[in-house]
Amino acid sequence: MALGQNKVEYEVIEGWERLPEGWSYVEVAGVATDSQDRVYAFNRGVHPMIVFDRDGKFLDAWGEDVFTNAHGIFIGPDDNIYCADNFDHTVRIFKSDGTLLKTLGEKDKPSNTGFKAWTTPVQQASGPFNMVTNVALSPVGDMYIADGYGNARVHKFSADGVLQFSWGEPGSGPGQFKIPHAIAVDRRGQVYVADRENSRIQIFTGAGEYVTEWTHVNRPDDLYIDEDENLFVAELGFKVASMPNDMGAAVPPHEPPACVTVLTLDGEVQNRFGGHGLEPGNFYAPHGIWADSRGDLYVSEVNYSAGGRQGLIPLDGHVLQKFVRIQK
């Protein structure tokens, strides 16, 4: 069955990947593929990084006893892997075999923003990092880092890890953020920020200057731009969990549903698919998104965090789905 009726269509592949016997993800926070289309599932189980080939065969696992809470992942053109850990406030850079190359931020030392999880929202913007969320690279290798749950900033680092500048502050105006949850950079160097709890994508120059924003998305959780300049958006939609949504912001109980949206870089909707539930092709809590070199799409979910631990949603459903692009 084709998902979506527009310019970019997909077919979901059920039971795509094969975990080793007895293994569990718990939930998959992020997903990415490397130059060989190997799939990296950045998850919150015992084995935080699980690697498959594109057909779902298990290849490798690493990261045990390294991460506090897996969150965002990005893989560069050299196959180095950038991992955001939002609980210990660091971004770590690895080789594809799990060898640690560099750590940005100080482990367990968040910047001072006045934030206290679930009780006090961000009071003021600060330096790196406080519950950092995700990373993206510019065409020349500079790092743009979304920060995050406990901050309201985007930080630009040089390719060798030196902080260049930051921008953003708490709020809902241009250049302000309410959970900058994900980030992407196009080939021109424009920066796209998933400003989740403002339900918009803000667009900036590489120097952090505000360009425009798109509001036809619903709580965007992750972004990815492919070689054809399609912008893939994982939309969390309505709030499932009983926890306060960013310190009390109201969200309708059933609308809009979680979905995936494919946009042009002009903001035109090319496809939107998904819905609420465990049926193949639907979502509860899409949190990570990536397209491989063939245009096939991977979507990860955090169903446990989004309500599973409270018993609000089932825990026996999919947390990583593959969608094969239908070539027209």
Tell me the per-residue pLDDT of 79-121, one tens digit each, with 9 for 90 and over.
999 999 999 999 999 999 999 999 999 999 999 999 998 889 9
CB 234 within 8 A of CB 221: yes
Half-sphere exposure (CA, 13 Å, Cβ side) for 66?
22
Residue 243: its pLDDT value, please?
42
Mean pLDDT, contiguous 10-residue spans, the chain (328 residues)? 68 94 96 98 98 98 97 98 98 98 97 93 96 98 97 98 98 97 98 96 98 96 97 85 42 68 96 89 95 97 88 86 89
Q: What is the CA radius of gyration of the chain?
A: 18
Most distant CA pair in the chain, distance: 52
Rounded to 5°, the CA angle 176-241-299 comes to 75
Token pair recorded at residue 220: 């965007």
Question: What percent of the chain is helix, strand and coil (3-state, nearest 5)?
Answer: 0, 40, 55
pTM above 0.85, yes or no: yes
| Distance between CA atoms of residues 197 and 192, nearest Å | 15
Residue 310: its pLDDT value, please?
80
Topology classification of domain 9-326: Neuraminidase (2.120.10)
Closest alpha carbon to 123 in 139, 108, 110, 104: 110
Residue 254: its pLDDT value, please?
47
Residue 237: its pLDDT value, please?
86
Domain definitions of the chain by residue range: 9-326
CB 304 within 8 A of CB 27: yes
Residue 239: its pLDDT value, please?
59
Kindly report the three-state secondary structure assignment for every residue of 263-281.
ECCCCCEEEEECCECCCCC
